[in-house]
Structure 1
Amino acid sequence: MVRTLPSRRRLARALMLTPLVALGACKPSPDVAPPDRPTLSLKTATTPSGAKVEPAVYSPALSAPGALTSLAPLVDTVKGAVVNVEVQARARPAMGGMMQGLPPGLAERFGMQGGQNPFGEGGAPAKQGLGSGFVIDPAGLVLTNNHVVEGADSVRVKLEDGRSFDAEVLGRDALTDVALIQLKGVSGKLPFVKLGDSDGLRVGDPVMAIGNPFGLASSVSAGILSARARDIHAGPYDDFLQTDAAINPGNSGGPLFNMKGEVVGMNTAIIGGATGIGFAVPANLIQALLPQLQETGVVRRGWVGLAVQDLTPELARALRVDAARGAVVAGVSAGGPGAKAGLREEDVITSVGERAVDSAGSLTRAVALLKPGSEVKVSLVRGGKAMEVPVKLGTRPTQRGEEEMTPRDATPAPLSKRLGLRLSEAQDGNAGAQVVAVESGSPAERAGLAPGMVLTQVGDQKVSGVSEAARALTAAEPGAALLLRARVPGQDGSLLRAIEVPQR
């Protein structure tokens, strides 16, 4: 099971005290003979089946006769730019006694057994998180994982030298788990590191990770690049680097360095229960996202509007295609950019612009890195004939289940959206506006609103449906605490909630 690194774990729960085993002994004095004891030599060791055990031979570079090359100079050069990221989010208020004995249907939407309080006795504790990050600009720009800062009310960053700064989230991209934050009140220049060329890495190259696993600041581990272009099914743009350098909870967002001191990846995920299998977002992908994260706070991707699958040898023969690799068009979205350009089902796409396409995933990633509205040449094979088709890219629409992000420079969103909730007409046939979705970390969530509740009053106004609720929410004064009255279908009485109206 692949999982992203949790932001915080209690160290006492993660570490088990065990008897220490000495890996080396003090050298005896020359005039004292060591006691006789049996020894084990790999030259004579065998397995239970009788097979001879051969030693694993590793020949490291030597900095001096008999001494291993130390990573200490590299660590000293870059560790000052690696930071500790602390995140807090306010707790949601408890639902109170009116939430006791919820009907089964509503209880399932809360993800609990009927009759339980969805937020426990007295409400949920405040969310706290602890991750890693690294400074990429002396003015205080820091990269970390999206899952570290998502939904944060406050972010505080601590440097290796002990200085701490409050920070704001400039931009996030959930689909690649990348976030950019800006430190506040920076005076002078901070230590920083550069993004390197992750495409230049080869499997077997040495790498080094620095982060804050379990809150243990500036922990260093080293290993090699184990594999490239790993698809771990975390999202549509998976292209992870795999490493055996030790990565643990709290390393999220920390850098993976090459031996030049350049960041070649951002540590992001591990396989639960496994040892020596960690994954990092490639630096070249991060570099491609940075301009949009800095300028607008969100990532807009190119879109062709195709359903594609990998070209297999069997499909190649059936389609009479000489290409060994590519992406086969299985469907074309009506009215989409691909349809307008004349792309057809059974076309085999072999490149997009300057990027070769050897699979469906590589096509998805190649198009996503291109700017919406730009025109690109798509090379393909159709009916055994090679051709090029110019395609004007559209903007990838938000898919079901994905978070809708609003650019910083966009016009103000409707208040219901800025509050983080979606409404529909009450499904029980009575008056009111029913909450159908609440965004994580939003003012609506902090106010204790949850899907299934029906708003019957907004401020001083009774509301009979969505339109009246929307008008009352829109008319609310920015910065005010707005009183809401809600009911739970099947329950007697009503609930009172207060929601903070965000600034326009």
Structure 2
Amino acid sequence: MILRTIQLLFVCLCMLYPVWSEGKTIQANLTSLAEKSGKAVVNISAVRKVDSRERLKELFRLERQAPPFEEFPDRFQSHLNPELGSLQRSMGSGFLISTDGYIVTNNHLVAGAEEITVLLHNDDNPRQAAIVGYDTETDLALIKIDAPSMLSTLAFANSDQARVGEWVLAIGNPFGLDHSVTLGIISAKGRALGAGLFDDFIQTDTSINPGNSGGPLINLSGGVVGINTAIMANGQGISFAVSSNLAKQIVHELRTRGRVMRGWLGVSVQDVDSLMAKALALPSPGGALISGLTPNAAADKAGMHVGDVILRLGYRVIKDSTDLLRTVAAQQPGQETKIVVWRNGLEQHLTVTVGNKDDLFLEQAPHSEQAEKASTLDGLTLRPITESEGKRLGLNSPQGLLVLDVRPGSAAESAGLQPGDLIMQATRRTVRSLKEFSSIVDHARKETGTIMLLIRRGNKDFFVTMALR
């Protein structure tokens, strides 16, 4: 009986040994991975000037029911960011992608910052960082420090090859606790949270908290599969990261150009359902139905008509309106491509030169007008819009100033202004001329040192607050 028991125990140990051995191997790999990858993760601190009205708005906003998805600053800002007079400090994470000091992070962390400082791994010496470029559509930013030596880096992995259930690490600075490491799995891929047209989020149950924003989500091979960006406000174990394949493309453009240029056709489109397909004599639902055209934009110049259904762009079959907009945005402005539309029961083959949305305004202005500058707002090159531009924007009369250029490192860039923006109001007063704008700015400079601008970008209007230096 004793011999049989010993034999049974021996068999059980033999069966359990491979599991124990594999567990030890995984633990050793995780330890090594955390140690190696952590050297490339940085702590980012950003200081921005805020308007007292913005603080009051934040206080009341926290009292109402939170939306299901929030970015880190939206939920915890007033609790974590100590205010120094009219200054507000936020903290987050980032990671080095080059030995000479380029760092990837979230745009919401550094947008509008007066000062950005970076702490490297095991280094108590804060280093000043400058914004190289940012993209509000994907909430990504690229900043740079002067590298003290050859720095440790992380590389982007192919997020398309990442699998649901795969183990991932998050390294960051939650609540200021620098270089914290958490472990989880990929819960889902390709999530769209309603943040914008270019939503492509990886969902993970890795523990993510305020301060992790901008940090890397790393696979077991040490590659970055995502940039931690958002949490589900009312949930647990539900966090989101921008996919690395999307981020890699954005970061490349920011590093080479300082901005992201997206293709544009100048069309309003909608999906084609089964009833609409039947009415149009389409064999099956699909494509993007043109419901509006911008005069003299790319689609108009290519001969497209309202009522056309865009079926293919290049070699890509267009599934729906969102698919079209994303496909066009991925094209380089100026690129010539074939396009197939459905018109009067037949396919029509056209050639389109992909446009750039800024061109709608910039190409209209005489050179002398483009050269005009507003001396009262550091870093901004402005001009009034023309009557024809005002009509295209749906304005009854020309009003507003067009932003032609934003100087890198200026207060205007920190506030998030971009070429092609239209300044509609300043301190709630309609702007019609450079002289009028100059007067408003001078008054604001003396009174508060800040100015609130109403900006029109594309078909969206929003306010920004800018510090006047």
TM-score where L is the length of structure 1 = 0.63
Question: How do 1:263-412 and structure 2 match up within 5 A?
Answer: 263-323=224-284, 325-397=286-358
Contact 1:86 1:157 (C-alpha < 8 Å) held by counterparts = yes
Contact 2:372 2:382 (C-alpha < 8 Å) held by counterparts = no
Question: How do 1:147-162 and structure 2 match up within 5 A?
Answer: 147-162=108-123
2:408 — aligned with what?
A: none
2:427 — aligned with what?
A: 451
Contact 1:165 1:183 (C-alpha < 8 Å) held by counterparts = yes
Contact 2:373 2:383 (C-alpha < 8 Å) held by counterparts = no
- Secondary structure of the residue that 1:69 maps to in structure 2? helix
Identity score, percent: 34
CA distance in 1, matches of 2:103, 2:153: 9
1:175 — aligned with what?
A: 137
2:462 — aligned with what?
A: none
- Secondary structure of the residue that 2:39 maps to in structure 1? helix
Contact 1:419 1:501 (C-alpha < 8 Å) held by counterparts = no
TM-score where L is the length of structure 2 = 0.67
Is the aligned partner of 1:83 residue 2:83? no
* Structure (1 or 2) with the greater helix fraction: 2
Contact 2:371 2:381 (C-alpha < 8 Å) held by counterparts = no
- Secondary structure of the residue that 1:162 maps to in structure 2? coil
Contact 1:329 1:347 (C-alpha < 8 Å) held by counterparts = yes
1:152 CA drift (Å)? 0.7
CA distance in 1, matches of 2:332, 2:383: 33
Is the aligned partner of 1:414 residue 2:390? no
Per-residue Cα deviation, 1:31-74 (whole angstroms, up to 9, x for no partner): xxxxxxxxxxxxxxxxxxxxxxxxxxxx9x94616658222222
Inter-CA distance 468–227: structure 2 relative to 1 (3 Å threshold): same
2:6 — aligned with what?
A: none
1:64 — aligned with what?
A: 21
Is the aligned partner of 1:260 residue 2:239? no
Q: Which amino acid aligns with 2:21?
A: A
CA distance in 1, matches of 2:20, 2:346: 58
User: Structure 2: any 5+ residue segments left out of the alignment?
Assistant: 1-15, 59-82, 361-369, 385-399, 404-410, 418-424, 451-466
Inter-CA distance 91–242: structure 2 relative to 1 (3 Å threshold): closer
Q: Which amino acid aligns with 1:392?
A: T
Per-residue Cα deviation, 1:145-178 (whole angstroms, up to 9, x for no partner): 0000001111111122225321111111111101
Cα RMSD, aligned residues only: 4.2
Inter-CA distance 363–179: structure 2 relative to 1 (3 Å threshold): same
1:273 CA drift (Å)? 0.8
CA distance in 1, matches of 2:309, 2:108: 36
Contact 1:62 1:69 (C-alpha < 8 Å) held by counterparts = no
Q: Which amino acid aligns with 2:31?
A: A
Question: How do 1:91-106 and structure 2 match up within 5 A?
Answer: none
Q: Which amino acid aligns with 2:161?
A: G
User: Structure 1: any 5+ residue segments left out of the alignment?
Assistant: 1-58, 95-106, 113-121, 400-409, 425-433, 456-464, 474-481, 488-494
Inter-CA distance 316–248: structure 2 relative to 1 (3 Å threshold): farther
CA distance in 2, matches of 1:336, 1:88: 40
**Who wins on radius of gyration, i.e. which is larger?**
1
Question: How do 1:189-228 and structure 2 match up within 5 A?
Answer: 189-228=150-189
Contact 2:113 2:415 (C-alpha < 8 Å) held by counterparts = no
Contact 1:419 1:442 (C-alpha < 8 Å) held by counterparts = no
1:266 CA drift (Å)? 0.9
- Secondary structure of the residue that 1:210 maps to in structure 2? strand
1:124 CA drift (Å)? 5.0
1:296 CA drift (Å)? 3.2
1:188 CA drift (Å)? 1.7
CA distance in 1, matches of 2:123, 2:44: 13
1:443 CA drift (Å)? 12
1:419 CA drift (Å)? 6.5
CA distance in 2, matches of 1:330, 1:269: 34
1:277 CA drift (Å)? 2.1
Is the aligned partner of 1:73 residue 2:32? yes
1:308 CA drift (Å)? 1.6
- Secondary structure of the residue that 1:415 maps to in structure 2? coil
Inter-CA distance 274–126: structure 2 relative to 1 (3 Å threshold): same
1:194 CA drift (Å)? 0.5
